[in-house]
Amino acid sequence: MPNYAILHEKPECLYEDYERKSELHRQTHYCPGCGHGIVHKLLAEAITELGIQDRTILISPVGCSVFAYYYFDVGNVQVAHGRAAAVATAVKRAHPHSIVISYQGDGDLAAIGSAEILHCANRGENITTIFVNNAIYGMTGGQMAPTTLLGQKTTTSPTGRDFHHDGAPMKVGEMLSALDGPTYIERVSLGNVKQIMLARKAIRKALETQIAGLGFSLVEFLSPCPTIWKLDPVDAQKHVHDVMEKHYPLGVKCDRIAERTAPPEPAPMTPLTDLPRILRLPSTEPAPLHFSEEPLDWRIRVAGFGGQGVLLLGQLLAEAGMDAGLHVSWLPSYGPEMRSGTSNCHVRLCSSEIDSPVVSRPNALLALNEPSLRKFIATVEPGGVVIYNGDSIPADCSRHDLRIVAQPFAEIADSLGSAKALNIVMLGAFLSLSHALPDSPIESALKRLVKSERWLELDRRALAVGRERVPAEEFVHA
């Protein structure tokens, strides 16, 4: 029997031998007196005591704690500078039952990673962030951090941090607590043994928050960096207590644990057999239609104002063409045109495979307004069809080598009860003139694209009126 009692021992969660290090497998790479060693031990104790070692995934940052994975016998993901909160977000969402801990220093979290931590906290991601604030960039050799105190000399603030030049030291705990997203945020200190014991409790509380599924938790540690501060370890610890704590008040910054409830359990896995339904994949092939033995190659340009239904008109042609067993393509002009200005699309209906979906020499132009007519009529192939929404073709853009129909289709649509039916009236006119497609695929395309019964009825009438107003044999040459 040993005649002594073990009061402190290495937590199971830390490796016995640090074999991932290239040398000195029994000691850490941290400097004597560095706060990381203490924080590592507190964290490892909490993980071990809470029995979550197998479930834990540690996200290590860039900075002195980049090698946290040397020590922690848990799942480890090492990440880019500042991005721990983003990576942690996705890890947790992939494995909601895991315990995700992102470990970050002040340069990493508060400077380059400020956007990621802000949004992670605001989303209330159910992760725990260990934030080590030593007011300096340690790994890179002592540059100024967002948390560097006013007057503090660093290699990049050699005369001391100046408010007018560098702004104020950033209070991360308070800043994040101003958001509604986080559940629990506390600032603790490694300034003396008593405070270290309080810090121990804070880590535990943060992890318990995550285990209960209650959302985002963060513990900010005021931590000594004796090497860069050029102080011996005892003085460095004293500096944390005497100086840092004055600017960075300790305590709970937000605690909304009582207000929060855990989200429902994730749904069971979606069976793969459900995917075709979920993805709306068609189950049955439409019966192939052989309505024409002639080789067919419609290269159609539809153009008008945004909001006139230009794109839908083109899409109806393509959908119907597909149902008719043709090769089809539909290419919109996209972007701002969707919201204002002009809109146009290219449609091809072809009995053989389509090379290019780009219609630069159309054999049919459906112009819903005058600017579109002017823009495209010169590109139409001789012998091509032009359908124009207007009383007549303006004299300065008329051509005698085209089959042209000009009618006030907008007025016709209006008389049917809605100017919005203009595109379908013109579709009727085009189909009547061109015999491009039979009726049944047009009907099936309409049914697929027009969801409202009222609109479907109007569109059917518009289609019929369009056909009536432009009998197949009637070509008006402008």
Partner 1 sequence: MAKQLLKGNEAIVKGAILAGCRAFYGYPITPANEITEAAAWYLPQSGGVFLQAESEVAAINMVYGAAASGQRVMTASSGPGISLMSEGISYLAGAELPCVIADIMRGGPGLGNIAPEQSDYWQVVKNGGHGCYRTIVLAPASVQEMADLTRLAFELADQYRNPVFVLTDGVIGQMMEPVEFPDAPVLPPPPEWSVRGDAATRKNLVSSIFLQPDELEEHIRHLEFKYKLAERNEVRFERYRTDDADYILVGYGIVARILKHVVEDLRARGIAVGLLRPITLYPFPDEELRRLAKRAHHFFVSEMSTGQMVDDVRLALAGRAPVEFYGRCGGNLPTAEEIASFVLRRIREEVTLHA
Judged by CB under 8 A, the chain residues 305 through 334 that form the site for partner 1 are 315, 318-319, 322, 327-332, 334
H helix or E strand, kind and range, residue 133: strand 128-133
Q: Shortest approach of partner 1 to residue 323 CB, angstroms?
A: 9
| DSSP notation for 401-429 | SSEEEEE-HHHHHHHHT-GGGHHHHHHHH
271: DSSP letter: P
Single out the residue of 297, 348, 298, 290 nearest to residue 323, CA to CA: 290
By the 10 Å C-beta count (0-12 exposed, 13-18 middle, 19+ buried), 349 is classed as: buried
Which of 12, 49, 119, 399: binder of partner 1 (CB under 8 A)? 119
Count CB-CB contacts under 10 A for residue 334: 10
Instruction: Residue 464: name the closest of 408, 412, 425 by CA.
Output: 425
Angle at the Cα of 170 from the Cα atoms of 164 and 175, rounded to 5 degrees:
130
Q: How far is the CB of 238 from partner 1 (least distance, A)?
A: 33
The Cα–Cα gap between 352 and 327 comes to: 6
Instruction: Rule CB under 8 A: say whether 121 interacts with partner 1.
Output: no
217-276 residues near partner 1, rule: CB under 8 A: 267, 269-270, 272, 275-276
Is residue 279 part of the contact set for partner 1 (CB under 8 A)? yes
Give the SS3 label for residue 397: helix
Residue 286 engages partner 1 in binding (rule: CB under 8 A):
yes
* 77 makes contact with partner 1 (CB under 8 A): yes
Nearer Cβ to partner 1 (278/395): 278
CB of 88 to partner 1, least distance (A): 7
In the bound complex, what is the minimum distance in angstroms from residue 120's beta carbon to partner 1? 9
Residues 81-100 that bind partner 1 (CB under 8 A): 83, 86-91, 93-95, 97-100
- Binding flag, residue 357, partner 1 (CB under 8 A): yes
Query: Is position 178 an interface residue for partner 1 (rule: CB under 8 A)?
Result: no
Nearer to partner 1, 250 or 359 (CB): 359
Q: Is 442 in the site for partner 1 (CB under 8 A)?
A: no
Structure tokens of 295? 């080789």
Q: Identify residues 39-58 at the interface with partner 1 (CB under 8 A).
A: 53-57
CB of 398 to partner 1, least distance (A): 23
Q: Which of 46, 47, 64, 66 binds partner 1 (CB under 8 A)?
A: 66
What dihedral angle (degrees, nearest 10) is formed by the CA atoms of 53, 56, 61, 66?
Answer: 20
**Rg from Cα positions in the chain:** 35
